[in-house]
Amino acid sequence: MIQPIEGAHSTTFSSDRDPEDLLPARMINELVYCPRLFYLMHVEGQFAESIDTIDGGIVHRRVDNGTGGLAPAEPCATQSFIPSADEDPAVIVPEATKPKKRRKSKHVQAATLFGDDDDDGSEAGEQEACEQQSDQDSDASEEAEDLPKTIHARSVTLSSESLGVIAKLDLAEATGSVVTPVDYKRGRPKRMADGTLAAWDPERVQIALQVLVLRDNGYQSDEGVLYFNETRQRVRVGVDEELLDLTRSAIAAARQHRESGQIPPPLVSSPKCPRCSLVGICLPEETRRLANIQQPPAAVRPLITARDERRPVYFNTQGMWIGKKDDLLQAKVEGKVVQEIRFNDINQINLFGNIQLSTQAIQTALGRDVPIGYFTQKGYYYGVSGGLGVKNILVRRQQFRLADDSEFCLDIARALVHGKIRNQRTLLMRNHREPDATSLRDLKRYAARALTADSLASLLGIEGIAARIYFGDFAGMLKVDCGVSTGGEGYVTAEKRPAFHFRSRNRRPPRDPVNAMLSLAYSLLTKDCLVAATIVGLDPHLGFYHQVKPGKPALALDLMEPFRPLIADSVVLSAINTKMVTADHFICAGKSVVMSDAGRKHFLLAYEKRMDSLVTHPLFDYRVSYRRLLEIQTRLLARRLSGEIEEYPVFQTR
């Protein structure tokens, strides 16, 4: 049901406006279905595929291949939807019909050649009947020749400047000057209580818009047809005054939503949401739960899938060549195919070191919104390639505005640091052999102090102290003892020392295996947070806690703060304690330590296993993978930027 908007009454469209401002009829259909869906798709330019949208694309495949041609309307058929006040309606005078010629009757042979004399009367009657039937057939043939033929035109695009609407007709059935739009639907029609077929309001409004656009282009049109592919049934939709009023209100409401720049609130427990393809972008239940913080928390329905069925792919073999064959990503080493992966199974491509990727593979990946991440051979992350990205410039503009607001930045930074310290403390409690009570107490104290920090500089100090306490006890979570030789074979300074003996955090270059793995884990997590920010439409290089620096993905670093202990540190602990990575997987050069190709491969497996594991969200009480969780948290930050929610809920594990 369309909600009335204050001031949204006029459907008149100014002719001096940009043609790009024309409202697609399909989008007005979406507005009647859900105003928030209209805003996300039409204003923010967001879209996501689902089984329904893909099925709909298959249904429209034939009609979309039409030439789009349709003969222009005859002038006498013009009937504008909004007639000018100073014009009288045109009077159409019907053309005089010519009298039909009666053809000469043909001789009809009697039914039998041996008829009796008594049957003369009946024979004459039969002959007369045959003559009459012949005359009727001749008349019907002449009438059929006189009737105008029905012409079918597919994929016809018409616009109406007076309405400010553009419509694409799947099929137009033209008979003389009368054109009937036919719109294809993938599902089944609405069935009334008496068993008759009908249409839902969004479908009726879309048909009415097509009829009105046809009229505004000079055609005569009084009704439209909905063709439902699942049941192969047609439903006729007559355009009456009640439907015209509903359509006018929908046009005005759509224009008002677009110009307001305010996203409409989500529907309340609507049955429409579970089948909506944009439910993972909209987050209706989560947004409403966080927006109404003054009210008792409502239960959140798990409307999104727990994990993405697609997987990231990592290429680590130096000298590898990767190309595209049909719908496959094909990897070759020295001209020999070593791996083939379907593009439909990939959501990221990551390249480590000297690996070549063909132009065709890059074009296909970017066309499908599959980002390509680039790492050095040692795992240092230095860039990502992406497509044109989302068109949601509104949230990015708001991000730039609020990044200059020091109070807003401090508010977000407090929440991020508080969540990070709390998660560090939880990780120590869960994994340390003997958690130190003093460390746990201090971490709890500094987490609380982070919420009252009066500046970003003060917050940095609190975070640094907490990190020193946390990494001071980090070695207690390592439960494997083995040795590694420093300096390598042949080095004079080579000595034997514990492989996974961790004293403190060091980097550039890391000087022990644990720090080498921590650096690689943070690089991978930075890449995933950067991809999540890009998907949502945020600029990953403009943060609120981390300051702007050329080439530094400040927002990605902001987003990853609470997840450093839960994902990166946890992967390192898991890889060591389960012996997925051993001392043999490291190469020492002087005082620096790097992972071998085999060790990096094992570590990437551990990382992806962690990202694919399910975790319960403490606010919404449903389980999602860590990779899905990163996207949800980033979308919630976007909600905070747009003002839909008042606080950013940093993820804190229980």
- Binding site: residue ranges? 463, 546, 561
Query: In terms of Cα–Cα distance, which of 175, 172, 203, 654 is closest to 430?
Result: 654
- Is 360 exposed, middle or buried, given 0-12, 13-18 or 19+ CB atoms closer than 10 A? exposed
- Cα–Cα distance list, 554 to 203, 447, 466, 539, 540 (Å): 45, 22, 21, 9, 6
324-329 — which CB contacts under 8 Å span 24+ positions?
324/358, 324/360, 324/361, 324/364, 329/361
- Cα–Cα distance list, 216 to 149, 159, 254, 629 (Å): 23, 8, 20, 49
For β-strands 623-625 and 614-616, DSSP reports them as antiparallel
Q: Work out the angle at residue 621's Cα, subtended by the Cα atoms of residues 617 and 626, and round it to the nearest 5 degrees.
A: 25
3-state SS track over 582-628: CHHHEEEECCEEEECHHHHHHHHHHHHHHHHCEEECCCCCCEEEHHH
Residue entry with tokens 């159409």: 92
Q: Residues forming the annotated binding site for Mn(2+)?
A: 463, 546, 561
CA distance 85 to 146: 38
Which tokens sit at 234?
Answer: 């047609």
For residues 264 and 231, the answer to whether their CB atoms sit within 8 Å is no
Length of the chain in residues, anyone? 654
* Helix orientation angle between 241-260 and 201-216, rounded to the nearest 10 degrees: 90
For residues 202 and 211, the answer to whether their CB atoms sit within 8 Å is no
3-state SS track over 118-131: HHHHHHHHHHHHHH
| Cβ-proximal residues to 334 (8 Å cutoff; 6+ apart), any chain | 319
Query: In terms of Cα–Cα distance, which of 384, 382, 414 is closest to 648?
Result: 414
For residues 415 and 648, the answer to whether their CB atoms sit within 8 Å is yes
For residues 226 and 234, the answer to whether their CB atoms sit within 8 Å is yes
For residues 78 and 90, the answer to whether their CB atoms sit within 8 Å is yes
For residues 195 and 51, the answer to whether their CB atoms sit within 8 Å is no
Which tokens sit at 334?
Answer: 């020295």
CA distance 290 to 173: 50
The β-bridge partners of 151 are 174
Which tokens sit at 401?
Answer: 């505005």
The amino acid at residue 581 is: V
